[in-house]
Structure 1
Amino acid sequence: MPESPAPATIIGGAVSPYVRKVLAVCALKRVPVTIDPIIPFFGNERFEAVSPLRRVPVLIDDRVTLSDSAVICQYLEERYPDPPLWPTDVADRARARWLEAFAATRMSDVIMWRVFNEAVIKPGIWGRPRDVEEVERAVTGELPPVLDYLEGVAPADGFAFGPLSIADLSVAVLFRNLAWSRVTLDPARWPRTRGWVERTVAGSPLGPLTALADRLVRLSPAAQREAYAAAGLPVTTDSMGGSTPRRGPMTV
């Protein structure tokens, strides 16, 4: 018989696309979660013990403690294979892994570090002025080739490989962080990509998670915990969040 999902604690807030991705997979696989919605870079010493790179998300359940969204999602897929989020066909499964890797590497490098970091994280976390010219260089120079590639692989309708898969979630989840960076994409230039992202968000748990995150970006940390509970995501009574932001050991 299939294993009944065990409760899991997810550390990290839904403003992070990687946390939203893991929460979406948990919802699809009916894994009950409690969330410790720490603000990025604000983890305490206990957080560093479970996430040596000081990154979210972290999953803690009755068997493992894991960081990195791709590793967490693969674990959830293997432990709870229903519904499957990787394609059955071996070639499609490899393509899905590639799209997940592309989202985690080049897409994230441009969207999260070149744009979102400069436009939102730097002023919001570190209290430093955003470099508007740097954001513009990334949006006009680095982002278009990423979107051109996606336009070439985006499905005309539905999802990338038939049923909803990890590839759809991994790509679509990053785009809301562009919107929070006040970046508007040309719908006429990348219509297939836009349609793919919109269908994925509307047709998966990313929809309500994105709506929740839209509220969170306007709230204080204390009010954010209340917003999670109101959205049906119970929060932990104890937190691994600290009071002072600290950079992780990675360059980006």
Structure 2
Amino acid sequence: MTEPLTIIGNYISPYVRKVLVCLDVKGIPYRIDPIAPFVGDDAFSRLSPLRRIPVLIDGDLVLNDSTVICEYLQDRFPTPSLYPADPVQRAQARWLEEYADSYLGDVVIWRMFFQKGVRRFLFNEGTDEDVVRKARDEELPVALDYLEARLPEEGWIFGELSIADISVASFFRNAAFVKYQVDPQRWPRVAAFVGRALALPAFARLAAFEDRTLRTPLPEQRAVLSEMGAPLTATTCGNAAPRYGVMRLG
């Protein structure tokens, strides 16, 4: 590979985080245009017709959707593998990735993080506290009960770190952004698993960029990240006025 890959997408997105962790674990160099999809310009719309992040650019190839991107990275850079070799476990890993992307994405991102953060600070709209309450008290516990029965007491779901571990953990980082912590008394396996995963170097290296992004107004984020040494692209697609789009999930 002669040039670093390009990733378009904000550090605080769990879908972007999933891809960046995979890149880190595999030792693949990249540059990032850390935009939120809400401020993507016309060039972003051409690259991402659903106006979702992340986007991967590898030469002439443009890929959308975090799952598609991670599978491409696995196919092109097969070691270390992030998908179990056993076909049954591989299918199970893909299902857990989908479960995280779909159910946790809906509950943690759209019903909690979007309501408490993006909707208030980017669009100046009020938080629907009933939506947040139902997500926190009713819908997220359903996922935690499901995961508690499937996560190991120690280590990783399929023995070695896999896309399933990375996907599940990525969403609980965003849950923490809205001050939600998994109750270790009720869900001890989930709480321990999340702690192990987020302590991995690949997650930890992103944490400083995520924290500063979260505390910085959107128009100032690129400059702040540049000062921190983030591997930024030379140009950005993130200069448009905030707008909604077809961007649910990633």
CA distance in 2 between partners of 1:136 and 1:46 (Å): 37
Residue number in structure 2 paired with 1:242? 239
Residue number in structure 1 paired with 2:214? 217
Residue number in structure 1 paired with 2:163? 166
Alpha carbons of structure 1 residues 94 and 120: separation in structure 2 relative to 1, 3 Å: same
Alpha carbons of structure 1 residues 22 and 102: separation in structure 2 relative to 1, 3 Å: same
CA distance in 2 between partners of 1:152 and 1:38 (Å): 36
Instruction: Extract unaligned runs of 5+ from structure 2.
Output: none
Q: Please state if 1:130 is matched with 2:127.
A: yes
TM-score computed with the length of structure 1 as normaliser: 0.93
Conserved 8 A contact 2:10-2:35 = yes
Deviation at 1:228, TM superposition (A): 3.2
Q: Please state if 1:177 is matched with 2:174.
A: yes
CA distance in 2 between partners of 1:19 and 1:62 (Å): 19
Of the three residues 49, 53, 57, the one matched with 2:54 is 57
Amino acid corresponding to residue 99 of structure 2 in structure 1: F
Q: How many residues align?
A: 249
Amino acid corresponding to residue 124 of structure 1 in structure 2: F
Q: Please state if 1:192 is matched with 2:225.
A: no
Of the three residues 84, 88, 110, the one matched with 1:91 is 88
Conserved 8 A contact 1:33-1:233 = no
Query: Identical aligned pairs, as a percentage?
Result: 45
4+ runs of 1 displaced by more than 3 Å?
Answer: 226-232
Deviations 1:8-52 (A, max 9, x none): 111011011111111111111221111111123110000000101
Q: Please state if 1:28 is matched with 2:25.
A: yes
Q: SS in structure 1 opposite 2:149?
A: helix
Alpha carbons of structure 1 residues 102 and 33: separation in structure 2 relative to 1, 3 Å: same
Conserved 8 A contact 2:183-2:191 = no
Larger displacement relative to structure 2 (4-13 or 67-76): 4-13
Alpha carbons of structure 1 residues 43 and 168: separation in structure 2 relative to 1, 3 Å: same
Deviation at 1:150, TM superposition (A): 0.5
Instruction: Extract unaligned runs of 5+ from structure 1.
Output: none
Of the three residues 32, 35, 40, the one matched with 1:38 is 35
CA distance in 2 between partners of 1:122 and 1:101 (Å): 25
Alpha carbons of structure 1 residues 227 and 155: separation in structure 2 relative to 1, 3 Å: farther
Residue number in structure 2 paired with 1:157? 154
Deviation at 1:178, TM superposition (A): 1.1
Instruction: Please give the root-mean-square deviation of Cα atoms over the aligned residues, in Å.
Output: 1.7
Conserved 8 A contact 2:112-2:136 = yes
